[in-house]
Amino acid sequence: MRIKTQDMRILNHWLRQSPWPEQIIIFAPIHKKTESPMALKDFKTRIKIKAEPQDVYAALTNPFTIELWSGYPAQMSEEPGFEFSMWEGDIEGKILETIPNQKVVQQWYFGDQEEASVATIKLFADGPQTQVELVHTNIPADDFDDITQGWKEFYLGAIKEFLEIE
């Protein structure tokens, strides 16, 4: 049943006249809120690691190496289509593309997000070190600060610390 605005005014006026003021119910029109699409952000960073590209690549794709630098078992592969999991399921996604010692492309899962959140990691030999370039697109705005901190401290930062042990 649809109540017209004029009917609501009459009903509210009548209810205010009620002898039981503690039981007054005020009616107001209900406006359906149209949901805006989820706000998404992109993140880009670069880091230099004193290690060969093949060692950095292994730290990104080898589950045994990932466990060494992260401290947690990981399900990871170089195979496109492989669904990976890290940090006891805190990060889950799918491998989209790999080029040994050069590039890893992952889709990260964020609930029912329609647009794919894609992390592209490129490795460039730079003398005795490797320059790592990360571009992570379509990160939900609500998760952006946690994800970027995670990349800096717990993912790329942990790999750097692990590989630069002398």
Q: Which helix (H) or strand (E) holds 92?
A: strand 91-99
Domain ranges of the chain: 1-34, 40-163
Q: What is the mean pLDDT of the chain?
A: 85
Cross-strand bridge partners of residue 104: 98, 121
Could you give the CA distance from residue 13 to residue 62 in angstroms, rounded to a whole number? Answer: 71
In which band, very low, low, confident or very high, does the pLDDT at 22 lie, cut at 50, 70 and 90? low
In which band, very low, low, confident or very high, does the pLDDT at 34 lie, cut at 50, 70 and 90? very low
Which residues, in sequence order, are CB contacts of 148 under 8 Å at separation 6+?
43, 45, 139
What's the pTM value of the predicted model, to 2 decimals?
0.76
In which band, very low, low, confident or very high, does the pLDDT at 36 lie, cut at 50, 70 and 90? very low
Regarding predicted confidence, which is higher, 117 or 2?
117
Pairing status of strand 117-126 against strand 103-108 = antiparallel
Closest CA to 132 of 32, 55, 38: 55
pLDDT at 3: 46
Residue pair 120/108 in contact (Cβ under 8 Å)? The answer is no
pLDDT tens column, 66-115: 999 999 999 999 999 999 999 998 999 999 999 999 999 999 998 878 88
pLDDT at 30: 47
pLDDT at 121: 98
Provide the residue type at 39 as one letter: A
CATH architecture of 40-163: 2-Layer Sandwich (3.30)
DSSP symbols for 106-130? EEEP-TT-SS-EEEEEEEEEETTEE
